[in-house]
Amino acid sequence: MAALSSSARPSSTLLELATVFLRLGVTSFGGPAAHIAMMRQELVERRAWLAEDEFLDLLGASNLIPGPTSTELALHLGQRRAGWPGLLVAGLCFILPAALITGVVAFVYLRYGLLPDASAALAGVKPVVLAILADALWKLGRPAVKSTLLAVIGSLALAAVWFGAEQLIVLCVAGIVAMVLGETAPGPARRSLAVPTLALAPVAALGVAHATLPKLFLVFLKIGSLLFGSGYVLFAFLRTELVQQRGWISETQLVDAVAVGQLTPGPLFTTATFVGYLVAGPAGAAVSTVAIFLPAFVLVGLSSHLVPRIRRSPRARRFLDGVNVASLALIALVTVDLGRIVVTRPWMIVVAIAAALVLLRTKLSSAWLIAGGALCGLLVSRLTGHA
């Protein structure tokens, strides 16, 4: 049953979609790769809603537009199954559990985060977050740097960001250079890729100084509209937008926000829920969550009919290759900078190295590693009297 049959009742189909994606939203720990694997197992192998090659086509299309890849794949799958209502049901059911859990954690963090035990646990989590970032950089780098040209583009992007270039400009230029210099044959989808992406680009020009709900909405709408690559690139964008340019949160709060995003199920982009709560309470959490995911709903809806063309387009693939290597440069710089800020005691270095080794040698979920880091922080606090 690769497609919805004409005799199927729409209400029962939407209920089935809701059941599947609510369960995925509650149980999908481990990041985008784990989410994608779980969707494939559930929808291709168990339920046979679509064939393997159709699933890969939708995954490829999700990689070619900005936003959270696993969430966009859920949206594509929902629309493939039940049209626009299916897109909305699948997306909301996949996102809401993580957003609600993250909002509760943010409430607890603000109320109890400064208590000794909470501070000790968070001290143990921070080096684990750095290890997760370093592991993502290593594992994403090997398949991303496919050629000498891409290696050069990545190196130049690293240098440009190091000397203060705007991240968005670096990402766009890297994609264009890879598309143009690597061009060997014409492709029909360059315009198809650019139009939905650039339709939201004017948001990038909006600047803010003080946190209000409309300004918070615009900042996260900008990030959701323009962020290509791994969810870990979100870390770099949040640091630039909210820590360095606006000072709405601190470096420590950003690391804690990413740790919460790792520890909770569902999309890593629900880190925005946590950050929004820190900046403007429950209303800020709701506004930030809607803003960062809204572009994904729009772009998937606009691009779904272009999937076959985009998947076959050499130009679209080369553009994404350039953006990906530039994204890795952002992750590298953030990892180094935060390492200097966060790792302040010798035992934290040990935890970071141990977590990195576990990530390299096993497939253990990052949620378990973060829990282990929190336990280490509590043990050190008990033994030494301070975190």
Helix, coil or strand: residue 220: helix
pLDDT at 196 over 80: no
Confidence label for 17 from pLDDT (cuts 50, 70 and 90): very high
Any idea where the domains of the chain sit in the sequence?
A: 10-92, 116-384
CB 360 within 8 A of CB 353: no
Mean pLDDT of 13-18: 92
Structure tokens at 72: 């966009």
User: Which pLDDT value is given to residue 207?
Assistant: 41
User: Which pLDDT value is given to residue 116?
Assistant: 57
The Cα–Cα gap between 25 and 3 comes to: 23
* Average pLDDT of every residue of the chain: 80
- Of 325 and 262, the structure prediction assigns the larger pLDDT to 325
Question: Is the full-model pTM beyond 0.75?
Answer: no
Q: What residues contact 207, with CB distance under 8 A and at least 6 apart? A: 245
User: Which pLDDT value is given to residue 249?
Assistant: 92
Confidence label for 309 from pLDDT (cuts 50, 70 and 90): low
Q: What is the 3-state secondary structure (H, E, C) of 32-45?
A: HHHHHHHHHHHHHH
CA pseudo-torsion sign 206, 209, 211, 214: negative
- Of 61 and 299, the structure prediction assigns the larger pLDDT to 299
- Of 97 and 60, the structure prediction assigns the larger pLDDT to 97
The Cα–Cα gap between 55 and 49 comes to: 10
Task: Give the tens place of pLDDT for each residue, 68-95.
Answer: 888 999 999 999 999 999 999 999 999 9
Helices (H), 199-270: 213-226, 233-238, 251-263
Most confident of 97-106, 135-144, 299-308: 97-106
The Cα–Cα gap between 328 and 153 comes to: 11
The Cα–Cα gap between 76 and 94 comes to: 12
pLDDT at 347 over 70: yes
DSSP letter string, 256-323: HHHHHHHHSSS-GGGHHHHHHHHHHHHHHHHHHHHHHHHHHHHHHHHHGGGHHHHHH-HHHHHHHHHH
pLDDT at 277 over 90: yes
Mean pLDDT of 285-307: 89
User: Which pLDDT value is given to residue 55?
Assistant: 87
User: Which pLDDT value is given to residue 114?
Assistant: 56
User: Which pLDDT value is given to residue 4?
Assistant: 45
Task: Give the C-alpha distances (Å, rounded to integers) separating 353 from 2, 261, 337, 347.
Answer: 46, 21, 17, 10
The Cα–Cα gap between 226 and 204 comes to: 8
Mean pLDDT of 149-165: 88
Helix, coil or strand: residue 227: coil
Structure tokens at 20: 């599947």
